[in-house]
Amino acid sequence: MSGLFRRLIPLVNKQTGTHLTLARSRVGHSISQTRMFLKKRLWIWPIIAVVLLSTLGYGVRSAISYTIRAHLESQLQTLLNVETSMLQTWFEVQESNAESAANRMRVREIVDQLMETGRPASTHNLGTETSIPDLHAELRHELSPTMSAHNYVGYIIADKDQKILSASSPELINKVEVPGLEYLFTAMLDGKTTVCPPFLSVDALKDTYGKTRTGVPIMLVSAPIRDERMQVTGLLAFQFHPELKFTEILQLGRLGESGETYAFDRQGVMVSNSRFDEQLIMAGLLADHENSKSLLNIEIRNPGVDVTQGARPELRRGKQSLTTMAANAVAGNSAVTVEPYNDYRGVPVVGAWKWLDQYGMGVTTEVDYEEAFRPLTILQWMFTGLYVLLGASSVVIFVFTLVVARMTKDAQKAAVEAKQLGQYELENKLGAGGMGVVYKAHHAMLRRPTAVKMLSIDKVDAASTARFEREVQITCQLNHPNTIAIYDYGRTPEGVFYYAMEFLDGLDLQQLVEKYGPQPEGRVIHILKQVCGSLYEAHSKGLVHRDIKPSNIMLNRRGSEPDVVKVLDFGLVKALDENKNAGMTANASLTGTPLYMSPEAIQSPLAVDNRSDLYAVGAVAYFLLTGHPVFSATNIMELCRQHVDQAPVPPSQRLGRVISPELEDAILACLEKNRAKRPQTARNLAHMLARLPESQKWTENEADGWWSRHERGLPAAQVNASMVAVPTLLTRGDRVAPDSGSSEKPSMTTPGFDQTMISQEID
């Protein structure tokens, strides 16, 4: 039991004493609130649209991103394959040219003659009719057609000791281990024909602008020279400018406006011209002078910042690391990636690269990441724009809703202040509760006194409106004369919800006992029989009241009939078929008033039936007879435990005097813990009460006399407080303190311990 009720909290109402009712759980309340909230709050739909659009956008973006990446990878790889294939084809053509020249008989003879002498060409002869200068001249003549046909700018012939035997540039003759030729000699010793990466010439050559100078970017294609035994004796190399065909081939391949393809050597030096030379000059990566080129002047290193935007790197160029692409390529790895990395300008790019080991160089094709993924960026901006638009729409609709709500409330207040509610003219306020207000009114044409109940204008929400509607719909199904009658229900053009019911000018049983004390046995029986009649009709329709208590039973003089009972407040009624009111009362929630709650309503809220109402009738009878509730406690947990476990003190023992044993037995039968031992229907209980001897002791004359003596002492317009009281829901940890101005601590024994409702969650 302590686990079941450990979250119950005692509350105090300083005006009417302490009264506790367990309302629906927060879970059920939240579900109902959410459903009504989405139905009424238009401004929430743009927010929902943003959430749905975000989910859709994420999925679409992922799909498009995957497609773009796959397509981009394919494009990069295809372009790289095409470029390297074109280069290799061109290289093979150059190699074929060199092999053809190196294998000519006369060229081999001249080279053999040059190798036979160790004397300088200017001072020695071969002892033959042909001098060395003539051999050089004849060699130039022999190679001239090949050079002219293929735009070679020079040639070099060397022996196996890397000594230059002959060259188009006389200053190279007889030099040994000329810089830049190492790669060629390695290939020569292996008997291979090859093309070496570009390097700066040590001899004076004409550049592409026709200016003769040293340090001209040059490439060599070499082929081994063999003797008659096919042994390698030397090499023949032709010189040509890389800016021409080599760079042209590379610059043919590019993606978009920012794409480029270029080559680089093992040191990470660019060996072809970049498309962005002008940009590199502006960024300070290239010297700003005429005919400045990136060829052999740019290292493929990551500056760490985008130098094209004016940023300056923190490290000198020589201390910067190679780009991701260059580092992988010189390590011999070929790959393609669409993950961004910085290129030699510091611009994020994606690319593919391949290392051509037989030529000692790598080739890469790259494109700016921003351009490559521009469709994705556009899509992102489009979705962002829609998010902003929908968010703005939500704000506008929300503001509009607030304005309309304020205007509606003003109109509702104006209607109430004008004392006009549909066809009903309001007179004076009879009472007000947590959520409802009751006015005495009359129909504009019928002029019949009426009680009009409406929702408090400042406290209207979806849950209260739903409960309000449900209360009137259920009550309208009941026609018993001891059930309060509903005349009308509606909503004014201003949006004020109301229903009109019969006007009751009596007092409820709580007030009856508080003001006039315990009641005679005959009158108690007379009241209980009428309550049973009202409940029997409700039970026959499959409805359980669940909140029978003294303050929900009115005693009135109706016409010429005194002591007419009216059962009120069917707002917490439970349909035995739960589908009839799904969502209005949470599953596994405690609902009712603890002072009058049956054991099964505490232990198994879903299991309540008509016999639970009869337990409450017995508790009301106990209160009417003794002036005290069945059990008294200082907190709800203890009170509920007593209802479940403790036998009630007999009314006669509580009063200290003898009362009718039959009536006491009937009351205690209603208060049995086991439902099977209680009266099974309200009609059974009514028949049991009718057979009691005391049932005839409260006559109509006695009732008339009582009303004649006391009617003037009643409040001018007494209306049952429960007709305007709506549950107050408190979450875990809430407390309601007694009035700070009162020195008396409220207790559970205080009469009227039945005005505040709390919500309870069941573990």
List the catalytic residues: 547
- CA 112 to centroid of chain Cα atoms: 83
Alpha carbons 526 and 618: distance in angstroms, whole number:
14
Burial of 212 (0-12, 13-18, 19+ CB in 10 A): exposed
Whether 363 contacts 338, CB under 8 Å: no
Alpha carbons 179 and 162: distance in angstroms, whole number:
11
Alpha carbons 154 and 146: distance in angstroms, whole number:
11
- CA 262 to centroid of chain Cα atoms: 46
Please state whether beta strands 212-213 and 260-265 pair in parallel, antiparallel, or not at all (unpaired). unpaired
From the list 337, 344, 351, the residue with the least C-alpha distance to 272 is 344
Beta bridge partners of 351: 337, 366
Alpha carbons 197 and 218: distance in angstroms, whole number:
8
Burial of 128 (0-12, 13-18, 19+ CB in 10 A): exposed
Q: Residue 91: which H helix or E strand, with range? A: helix 44-102
With H, G, I as helix, E, B as strand and everything else as coil, classify residue 550: helix
Alpha carbons 507 and 475: distance in angstroms, whole number:
20
Q: Which residue has the tokens 């290239």?
A: 286
Cβ neighbors of 97 (< 8 A, separation 6 or more) are 146, 150, 221, 238
Whether 339 contacts 346, CB under 8 Å: no
Angle made by CA atoms 97, 101, 106, in degrees to the nearest 5:
165
Cβ neighbors of 133 (< 8 A, separation 6 or more) are 121, 122
Whether 577 contacts 542, CB under 8 Å: yes
